Amino acid sequence: MPVIHKYFRKYKKYPHVWCAGCTNGIILHSLVRAIDDLHFNRDEVVFVSGIGCSSRAPVYVDFNTLHTTHGRAIPFATGVKVANPKLKVFVLTGDGDALAIGGNHFIHTCRRNIDITIVVFNNFIYGMTGGQRSPTTPFGAISTTTPYGCPDHPFDICDLAIAAGATFVARCTSFHVRVLDNIFEKAINHRGISVVEVVTTCPTLYGRLNKKGNAVDMLLYQKTNAITVEDWEMLPTLLEKEKAKQEKILIGVLHKIRKPEYIQELESFTKRALEEQNKNE
């Protein structure tokens, strides 16, 4: 039995709630492998989710878990981290949950640089609630709320996170599992906010509505249309780089900088306030 099975709750109904061909389980397994490789005690780990297909993931793991309200997973996770900074806090969220109803929380948490890891499962559509368009639905794509094509231009999750101030930003696909394992380990070890976008499949809704084929076809698309950051940087001209960024799925660590972490700064401000208060008494 693989070692990661010890982290899964034995009494849950299996195989799982996700549709056949959905790759959310691949992402969950990859994250659990990274946690195991880093030798965290399961009592140190907290998984927080909101509402949506990806938000069902914490249900299956034997960590501390919170299944919260739609779009509010990030502020719940922030509260957990502030209350106990020693915990390793993860938000498992979808493109709709994180960037539509939860969009304001997403950008401000990136700005604060609090030491949590946000994993955005991006399947380009609202899955659990019926196939409506999401903030990442491609321009012209079909959804149940845009049957003649989506008129909106989508968010680039990673560009948005970088612009909002995130200090670690990465992207991968559910096909490139070993790359994803490595990205998760780097994200967890980073001191500050980490945002990892993972392109996942939704053959039931996005794939079917947009004639993307079955789950295997969608995974093969990820395989053949991804380009690593290293290969992208080797492209000789800016024009070729921009074209590749538009046409390919750029995977790897896209952005990493060092900046004061929120909890650390909060403790510093609290200490200063207490010193001023004691001085005035």
138-178 per-position pLDDT tens digit: 999 999 999 999 999 999 999 999 999 999 999 999 999 99
Instruction: Per-residue pLDDT tens, the chain, 281 aa: give them.
Output: 457 788 888 777 677 889 999 999 999 999 999 999 999 999 999 999 999 999 999 999 999 999 999 999 999 999 999 999 999 999 999 999 999 999 999 999 999 999 999 999 999 999 988 999 999 999 999 999 999 999 999 999 999 999 999 999 999 999 999 999 999 999 999 999 999 999 999 999 999 999 999 999 999 999 999 999 999 999 999 999 999 999 999 999 999 999 999 998 888 888 888 877 777 77
Q: Tokens standing for 138? A: 């491609």
User: Residue 54: what residue type?
Assistant: S
pLDDT of 275 reads: 75
Beta-bridge mates of residue 120: 93, 197
Report the alpha-carbon distance of residue 255 to residue 66 in Å, rounded: 29
CA 224 to chain centre: 22
Report the alpha-carbon distance of residue 9 to residue 64 in Å, rounded: 12
Judged on CB neighbours under 10 Å (0-12, 13-18, 19+), 246 is exposed
> If you ran DSSP here, which 8-state letter would residue 214 be given?
S
CA 247 to chain centre: 21
> What's the CA angle centered on 151, arms 146 and 155, to 5 degrees?
105
Report the alpha-carbon distance of residue 161 to residue 184 in Å, rounded: 17
pLDDT of 11 reads: 74
Phi-psi region of 20 (alpha: psi -120 to 50; beta: other; left: phi over 0): beta
The Cβ-side half-sphere exposure at 1, using a 13 Å CA radius, reads 5
pLDDT of 6 reads: 86
Report the alpha-carbon distance of residue 218 to residue 221 in Å, rounded: 5
Other CB atoms closer than 10 Å to residue 34's CB: what's the count? 22
Query: What are the distances in angstroms from CA 143 to CA 123, 149, 216, 217?
Result: 12, 7, 21, 19
Q: Are 125 and 143 in contact (CB under 8 A)?
A: yes
**What is the reported pTM?**
0.93
Instruction: Enumerate domains of the chain plus CATH numbers.
Output: 3-280 (3.40.50.970)
Q: Are 196 and 171 in contact (CB under 8 A)?
A: yes
Strands 249-256 and 168-173: antiparallel
CA-wise closest residue to 232 among 251, 216, 208: 251
Strands 117-122 and 88-94: parallel
Report the alpha-carbon distance of residue 64 to residue 94 in Å, rounded: 20
